[in-house]
Amino acid sequence: MRRPFGLVIVFASSVALPLSAQATVAGMWFTEFDAQTRIVNGSVSTVKGHARIELQVAGDSIHGTWQNLNAAGAADGPARPLGGALTSGGAHFEALTPSEIVRREMDSETHTKVVMNYDVAVHGDSLVGTEHWVAADHASQGEPRRFTATRKS
């Protein structure tokens, strides 16, 4: 009888540690992202955007907002809601409202409604992982790109 009881205690404590460690995803984070990419005559240039991410954790659920920031650090437009869940390796969250990607080529312009997805792990005061977009109609998706954010100190 003692052996099964000991095994249950060890199992319960091994499950509790990762969940408490993952809860550190909660907080305010700042990130820089590619807001616009241009390719002219084979030369690539990128305009950077900045955003504030606020995440709250309740159980294994994540809720929060993504707020684009202007050059002075003030809010630029309405905040977009985020939702997701803690995972065994960190967290997955995504935008709850689609945004739009515009692609301009020589003779055409394409508008695609997309949902941004983020898979991250907490490394000290940094979120590190990947981001990628998925078309709202699930017809296409972007390649995963590196994503980082820094906790507000």
Where exactly are the structural domains of the chain?
Answer: 2-151
Check residue 123 and give its pLDDT.
94
pLDDT, the chain, mean: 85
Q: Strand 99-104 vs strand 80-87: parallel, antiparallel, or unpaired?
A: unpaired
More confident of the two residues 153 and 41: 41
Q: Is the pLDDT of residue 38 over 80?
A: no
In which band, very low, low, confident or very high, does the pLDDT at 47 lie, cut at 50, 70 and 90?
confident
E strands within 70-125?
80-87, 90-95, 99-104, 109-123
In which band, very low, low, confident or very high, does the pLDDT at 11 lie, cut at 50, 70 and 90?
very low
Q: Is the pLDDT of residue 42 over 80?
A: no
* CATH superfamily membership of 2-151: Quinohemoprotein amine dehydrogenase alpha subunit, domain 2 (2.40.128.120)
Question: How far is 122 from 108, CA to CA, in rounded Å?
Answer: 41
